[in-house]
Amino acid sequence: MAIRSLTPAQFAAAPQARALLAAWPFGREALGDPAPDLALSQLAGAAGGAVWEGEGAWTWLAAWEPLDFDSAIFGRALGRLGLLAHLASWPGAEAQSQGRDLLAAVLDQAWAAGREGLYLRLPARDLLAAQAAEAAGFRLMDVSVDWELDLAQTPPVPAPPAGLSLRPWQEADRAALLDLAGQSFCDLGSYGDRFAMDPRLRPGCPEMYRRWLANSLGGPQASQVLVLAAGTEVAGFITLKLGAGAQDPAWVVLNAVTPARRGAGLYNLLLAQGLDWLARAGATRARVRTKVSQQAVIRAWSRLGARQTAAWLTFHAWRDDRAADNQVREEKK
């Protein structure tokens, strides 16, 4: 049994790749249906990866890709382990050892290619991959959940409180919206996104969300941005994205309320207005992804009749952590 590094072309051409992806117990959760076809298309864009091979069959497969946008924001060469598939269903000594060693080899490959950090997102039920990742040096940074709502069952939209209004964003709102986005998602006391939780990325967290929202204002990251306004003041916002196809769900992507107005139930108002806009635009289902710590968001969707459809674990690994670990091991010899 051996670890083999492969190019994207070798991944795509190998029948073992399709066999493993078809048998991957968490493939549908990780990628949707049909998982093998989507995974193979992702492999075509990988920068590198490796497999664990024994007797002609693959038991583990991992592939990574660079992230140019994140690298520019944070000033570090970052990447993503976009695919981590395995044959076994649940943790066991042999499978965990194989996964750990494979991930260590892929990290070394990424570090040699100049990457400083890699992200990894896994279905929360995939404890085998999660434990192998932790053994290889990844650290948990986020636990999130997806909720989905049938838009046919949404209640009537409430009117805004006196002095507030809901409307599409205007160019005059841009500066205030970007400032609110940069503040809201990087506050460890109220939200604490994974970019804020990771001390290496924390300084760039506000700029990440400012850029994200900027790309939503008439850009590709949103179909509409609704503003909660108090006269000319921006009091909150919600970004909405329609699905790519008629059968695809729409998404409630980002939302925030100014600190002075939090705790007054305004998220529920923003959500109701946003869901109404999506329904009128032709969407039949809407989804949200939020941290498990955001209980107010989860309660709001639950009250509307939504159901949880997925849960995710997100990890980060860093090259300098690996170097420090190696130094400690050498000192103990």
pLDDT in tens, 242-286: 998 888 999 999 999 999 898 888 999 999 999 999 999 999 999
Determine phi and psi for 102, rounding to 5 degrees: -65, -45
Does 331 have pLDDT greater than 60? no
Structure-model confidence comparison of residues 212 and 190, the more confident one: 212
Task: Determine, yes or no, domain membership for 333.
Answer: no
Task: Determine, yes or no, domain membership for 323.
Answer: no
Q: Write down the pTM of the prediction.
A: 0.92
Does 190 have pLDDT greater than 80? no
Structure-model confidence comparison of residues 265 and 37, the more confident one: 265
Report, as an integer, the average pLDDT of 156-182: 95
pLDDT at 35: 67
Asked if residue 126 and residue 240 are part of one domain, the reply reads no
109, 137, 165 - which closes a domain: 137
Per the CB < 8 A criterion, the answer to whether 307 and 148 are in contact is: yes
Task: Determine, yes or no, domain membership for 109.
Answer: yes
Local confidence band at 325 (pLDDT 50, 70, 90 cut-offs): low
pLDDT tens figures, 300-309: 999 999 999 9
pLDDT at 328: 42
Asked if residue 126 and residue 178 are part of one domain, the reply reads no
pLDDT at 291: 94
pLDDT at 324: 57
Task: Determine, yes or no, domain membership for 113.
Answer: yes
Structure-model confidence comparison of residues 314 and 9, the more confident one: 314
Determine phi and psi for 286, rounding to 5 degrees: -135, 145
Asked if residue 276 and residue 157 are part of one domain, the reply reads yes
Number of domains in the chain: 2
Provide the 10 A C-beta neighbour count for residue 309.
Answer: 14
The whole domain housing 71 covers 2-137
Task: Determine, yes or no, domain membership for 326.
Answer: no
Per the CB < 8 A criterion, the answer to whether 283 and 243 are in contact is: yes
Asked if residue 66 and residue 155 are part of one domain, the reply reads no
Asked if residue 185 and residue 133 are part of one domain, the reply reads no
Provide the 10 A C-beta neighbour count for residue 280.
Answer: 9
pLDDT at 69: 95
Report, as an integer, the average pLDDT of 225-252: 95
Q: Where are the alpha helices (DSSP H) in 225-312?
A: 266-280, 295-303
Asked if residue 285 and residue 158 are part of one domain, the reply reads yes
Asked if residue 118 and residue 91 are part of one domain, the reply reads yes
Does 130 have pLDDT greater than 90? yes
pLDDT at 45: 81
pLDDT tens figures, 48-78: 999 999 888 999 999 999 999 999 999 999 9
Task: Determine, yes or no, domain membership for 331.
Answer: no
88, 112, 137 - which closes a domain: 137
pLDDT at 34: 63
User: How far is 229 from 170, CA to CA, in rounded Å?
Assistant: 11
pLDDT at 187: 85
pLDDT at 154: 87
Local confidence band at 11 (pLDDT 50, 70, 90 cut-offs): confident
- Report the CATH number that the domain containing residue 259 is assigned in CATH: 3.40.630.30
* Paired sense of beta strands 307-318 and 285-291, if any: unpaired
Per the CB < 8 A criterion, the answer to whether 287 and 309 are in contact is: yes
Task: Determine, yes or no, domain membership for 280.
Answer: yes
Q: Where are the alpha helices (DSSP H) in 163-265?
A: 174-184, 194-197, 205-214
Token output for 105: 């080899």
Asked if residue 298 and residue 177 are part of one domain, the reply reads yes
Asked if residue 160 and residue 118 are part of one domain, the reply reads no
Whole-number average pLDDT of the chain: 92
pLDDT at 82: 92
Asked if residue 248 and residue 301 are part of one domain, the reply reads yes
Asked if residue 183 and residue 214 are part of one domain, the reply reads yes
Q: Which of 280, 38, 285 is nearest to 147 (CA)?
A: 285
In the chain, % of residues over pLDDT 90: 79
Asked if residue 12 and residue 153 are part of one domain, the reply reads no
